[in-house]
């Protein structure tokens, strides 16, 4: 699914965040220590190689909502932006912290003059954030931030499962089209 929001192209796709060859920066749903973990963090670190964990060491730990940037090593991208999502039911207020993850990642990307960025559905795996709510927060954040973006021209959400992909498409329809 592709939507044009003035200068910005918003894309929703089903796939692997570690295999986005045409994207400059991929976002990692990181842990506070910025170490290899499961899910997105596992896929990104495995593909990038052990140099990524070394590059992350001086930047850790990070707080929920915070974002930091490194190079991408063996990934097919230039940068990895690592952000720590809220643990649903523990880090509150969850929606504001999740919004910060997206805002701070976009802010860093703008600072680095990045033109294309791909996000996973932050916090919706191990951190337990319900997918419908997380989809609404992330897409609303794009909607309110789109006009401020100067360098970023493509934002892609990469959803892992077909059901998550469907939820995102439904939310995008509600937020951008209806
Ligand atoms: N590509 C795209 N999306 C994926 C991939 C992939 N390769 N693998 C999983 N997902 P999670 P969190 C989806 O758990 O909830 C880690 O262990 C997944 O289905 O990666 O923010 C870290 O070390 C889900 O929808 O991130 C942290 O400790 C979404 O990506 C913790 O988990 C996020 O799932 C972070 O938890």
Ligand 1 midpoint to CA 121 (Å): 7
Burial class (CB in 10 A: 0-12, 13-18, 19+), 5: middle
pLDDT of 178 reads 86
Separation of CA 138 from chain center: 9
pLDDT of 11 reads 98
Q: Which atom of ligand 1 is nearest to the CA of 35?
A: 23
Q: Is 163 in the pocket of ligand 1 (CB under 6 A)?
A: no
Instruction: Please name the residue whose Cα sits nearest to atom 5 of ligand 1.
Output: 40
DSSP 129-153: --HHHHHHHHHHHHHHHGGG-SS--
Domain boundaries, given as residue ranges, for the chain: 2-177
pLDDT of 39 reads 98
pLDDT of 79 reads 99
Instruction: Please name the residue whose Cα sits nearest to atom 34 of ligand 1.
Output: 125
Ligand 1 midpoint to CA 6 (Å): 30
Average per-residue pLDDT for the chain = 98
Q: Is 27 in the pocket of ligand 1 (CB under 6 A)?
A: no
Question: What would the pLDDT profile of 51-102 be if each residue is shown by its tens digit?
Answer: 999 999 999 999 999 999 999 999 999 999 999 999 999 999 999 999 999 9
pLDDT of 6 reads 85
Class for the domain spanning 2-177:
alpha beta
How far, in Å, CA of 29 to CA of 110, rounded? 19
Q: Is 168 in the pocket of ligand 1 (CB under 6 A)?
A: no
* pLDDT at position 139 over 90: yes
Ligand 1 midpoint to CA 43 (Å): 9
* pLDDT at position 29 over 90: yes
- The pTM of this model reads 0.99
How far, in Å, CA of 19 to CA of 38, rounded? 16
Please answer whether residues 12 and 165 qualify as being in contact, where contact means their C-beta atoms are separated by less than 8 angstroms. Answer: yes
* Entry field: residues in the chain: 178
Instruction: Please name the residue whose Cα sits nearest to atom 32 of ligand 1.
Output: 126
How far, in Å, CA of 50 to CA of 35, rounded? 10
Burial class (CB in 10 A: 0-12, 13-18, 19+), 31: buried
């Amino acid at each position: 699914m592709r939507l044009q929001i003035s200068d910005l192209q918003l894309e929703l796709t089903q796939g692997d965040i570690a295999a986005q060859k045409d994207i400059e920066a991929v976002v990692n749903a990181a842990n506070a220590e910025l170490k290899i973990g499961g899910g997105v963090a596992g896929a990104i670190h495995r593909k990038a190689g052990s140099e990524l964990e070394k590059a992350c060491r001086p930047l850790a730990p990070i707080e929920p909502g915070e974002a930091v940037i490194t190079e991408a090593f063996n990934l097919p991208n230039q940068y990895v932006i690592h952000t720590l999502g809220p643990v649903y039911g523990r880090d509150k207020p969850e929606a504001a912290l999740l919004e910060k993850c997206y805002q701070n990642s976009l802010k860093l990307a703008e600072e680095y003059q990045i033109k294309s960025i791909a996000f996973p559905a932050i916090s919706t795996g191990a951190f337990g954030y319900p997918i419908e709510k997380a989809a609404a927060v992330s897409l609303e954040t794009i909607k309110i931030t789109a006009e401020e973006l100067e360098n970023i021209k493509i934002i892609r959400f990469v959803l892992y499962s077909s059901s998550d992909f469907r939820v995102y498409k439904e939310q995008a329809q509600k937020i951008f089209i209806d």
